[in-house]
Amino acid sequence: MTGRHSFILAVLLVIANPGSADELLMKNGSRLVGTLVSASDGSVIFDTPYAGELTIERGTIETIITEEKVTLLMQDGLIFRDKLIVAQDDTLTVLGDDQVPIQFAAADINQLNPEPWRLGEGYKWFGDINTALESERGNTDTDELDIDFESIWRSLEDRYTIRGSWELDKTDSEKKKDQRKLRTKYDRFRVDNPDEYYGIQAAFEHDKFADLDLRTIVGPYIGRQFFETVLLTMHGEVGIVYVDEQFDEAEDDDYWGSSWELRLSSAIIPKTELYLHSDGLVDYSDVDSVVANTTIGIGFPLLYGFKVAAEAKYEYDGGAVEGVDDTDETYNLKVGYSW
């Protein structure tokens, strides 16, 4: 039996022997008392009265003891709701709705107490909004304002995403930077392989001091959800896009090209979020005119959904008009809210 399967079996072995509260017995000998929220092969979410919800790596846990009935999501999509389970050797027995015992192997279990959307019940709505504000007074008065947001609606079948940002810098009351971006996306997951999806996007960008009045990007793409757990999420996409660029001074342009997106977020270090976001465009008629944006950051939760993050952003536009820098670097300390 694999480590994953033996872990889930260890969880279920003790369900039929209820105690006064749920417990985690750790491999280092410590003991946590609280309420089991959910468990998968990668992590366990455990709610404690003294520290709130904790996300704990599965490999650090020896045994879970729970007194409540559980909901099981099986590998084949079958769902057992609010059932007591009895374990014997390497098999598990659950009473079906007709009270007839059903036996299966521990390897057949996908998740314990999964979120409702994973059971096909509606959408999960999550996202965040962040802001960074800097004001400096002296020989030169400088003001900087950065705002970004992301909102996602996720179900088993599809996903809607909208994200945007606005960067505004002033020196002695004169604008030095005015950049705005908005991107909307729709993803449809494949029935035969739910890790893969296809979608369509529409994006709009404005950068006054790069002479860019409006860049419009539309087109389809294919993607893969490599990970989607509490500890690690990661997806990658490639697509074909039509790009229309309207400039204030330079000649307008339009072209066909390719787009890419890579987004990774990890909570493997307790009480932190490490993230990497990258996206860009390649012009088929001029591959040197690549547009690439990369953001690297680390965030720390505060209270009630609020957080603080340190972030570095690198933006490259190989097709920038003459007299405009093709590279822009931004370093921020941001305060935000996640839901």
Report the CATH number at residue 296.
Answer: 2.40.160.40
Region of poorest pLDDT, from 130-144, 182-196, 203-217, 295-309: 130-144
pLDDT of residue 2: 55
Same domain, 225 and 93: no
Task: Tell me, yes or no, whether 319 lies in a domain.
Answer: yes
Q: Residue 168: CA atoms inside 13 Å, Cβ hemisphere, count? A: 11
101 or 56, greater pLDDT? 56
pLDDT of residue 17: 47
Task: Tell me, yes or no, whether 199 lies in a domain.
Answer: yes
Of 93, 114, 135, which residue constitutes the final position of a domain? 114
Task: Tell me, yes or no, whether 119 lies in a domain.
Answer: no
Same domain, 42 and 166: no
Average pLDDT score over residue span 271-278: 94
Task: Tell me, yes or no, whether 47 lies in a domain.
Answer: yes
Q: What confidence category does residue 66 fall into, taking pLDDT thresholds of 50, 70 and 90?
A: low
Same domain, 23 and 141: no
pLDDT at 325 over 60: yes
Q: For residue 159, how far is the Cα from the chain centroid? A: 12
Same domain, 98 and 145: no
pLDDT of residue 52: 79
The pTM of the full predicted model, rounded to 2 decimals, is 0.78
Same domain, 104 and 70: yes
Same domain, 139 and 277: yes
Distance CA 199, CA 203 (A): 13
Region of poorest pLDDT, from 65-74, 101-110, 157-166, 248-257: 101-110
Please check whether residue 92 is in contact with residue 13, taking contact to mean a CB–CB distance below 8 angstroms: no
What is the residue whose two structure tokens read 């509260």? 21
pLDDT of residue 16: 45
**Structural domain total, the chain:** 2
pLDDT tens digit sequence for 115-156: 899 888 999 999 999 999 877 776 677 888 999 999 999 999
Same domain, 105 and 131: no
Residues 99-129 as b or e (16 or more Cβ within 10 Å = b): eeeeebebeebbbbbbeebbeeeebeeeebe
Same domain, 154 and 93: no
Task: Tell me, yes or no, whether 177 lies in a domain.
Answer: yes
pLDDT at 32 over 80: yes
pLDDT of residue 242: 98
pLDDT at 334 over 90: yes
Region of poorest pLDDT, from 179-183, 185-189, 215-219, 265-269: 265-269
Same domain, 92 and 232: no
Structural domain containing residue 315: 124-338
Of 114, 141, 164, which residue constitutes the final position of a domain? 114
The chain-wide mean pLDDT, for the chain, equals: 84
Of 83, 114, 145, which residue constitutes the final position of a domain? 114
Same domain, 191 and 298: yes
Same domain, 308 and 168: yes
Same domain, 29 and 84: yes
pLDDT of residue 89: 45
pLDDT at 257 over 70: yes
Tokens of 159: 């996903």
